[in-house]
Each structure stands twice: as structure tokens, then as C-alpha cells.
Amino acid sequence: MVGGASAIALLLAVLLPALPLPSAGTVVLAVLAFGGIVAMLVAAGVLGEKAARVVPVPARRPSAGGPCGGCGCGGGCSAPTRSGVPTEAVAEAN
């Protein structure tokens, strides 16, 4: 949508000075193109807002004072580490 709006603006920026249109025709063409650009940008904003509402809200990180040691991994104490071993087993090994 935003690409389409910029393509219309670029096309209009090239055509208006190049075409031998009367003043009224230039104004009408400019107003129509500006309206199309604004409509496409509003539509892109609406689609972006809808897409943002579909994305799930991330889970809250565990607090450091709770049962988790507060490592900051965001998965809680039973979350696997990068090695695939749960963090509880890593803590017991150390």
C-alpha cells in the first residue's frame, strides 16, 4: 500500500510538469492523485493496526524473588536452556 502511494506520487511528480495541461486540469489531477495517496496510506495504517492486534502479547518475565533464580531467560525455571537441559538441572549441577 505504501509502495503504491509512493508510486502514484512519483508518477504525478514526473507527469504534471511534462504534460501540456491547462491550469484547471493540473489542479484536478493533483487533487485526485493526492486523494488517492492519502486513501492508500490510511488503508495501509488500518491493515497494520489489524496485523498488530493479531500478534500475541508476550509473557511477563519472572521476578527475581520468586521460585525462579531470576536468570532473565523469560521461560521460568522449567524452561530448557540452549543446550536443551532444563535450568533446574543446570542449577543443581553447579
Residues 44-76: tens digit of each pLDDT: 899 999 998 898 877 666 555 555 555 656 555
Judge if 35 and 77 occupy the same domain.
no
Judge if 7 and 40 occupy the same domain.
yes
Higher pLDDT: 92 or 44? It is 44
Query: What pLDDT, on the 0 to 100 scale, is given for residue 79?
Result: 54
Residue 82's SS3 state is: coil
Rounded to an integer, the average pLDDT of 16-45 is 85
Query: What pLDDT, on the 0 to 100 scale, is given for residue 46?
Result: 92
Judge if 78 and 39 occupy the same domain.
no
Judge if 15 and 50 occupy the same domain.
yes
* Domain span at 10: 2-54
Paired with 80 in beta bridges are 86
Judge if 42 and 71 occupy the same domain.
no
73-91 pLDDT, tens digit per residue, is: 655 565 555 555 555 555 5
Judge if 11 and 41 occupy the same domain.
yes
Judge if 19 and 39 occupy the same domain.
yes
Judge if 17 and 33 occupy the same domain.
yes
79 vs 69: CA distance, rounded Å:
12
Count of domains forming the chain: 2
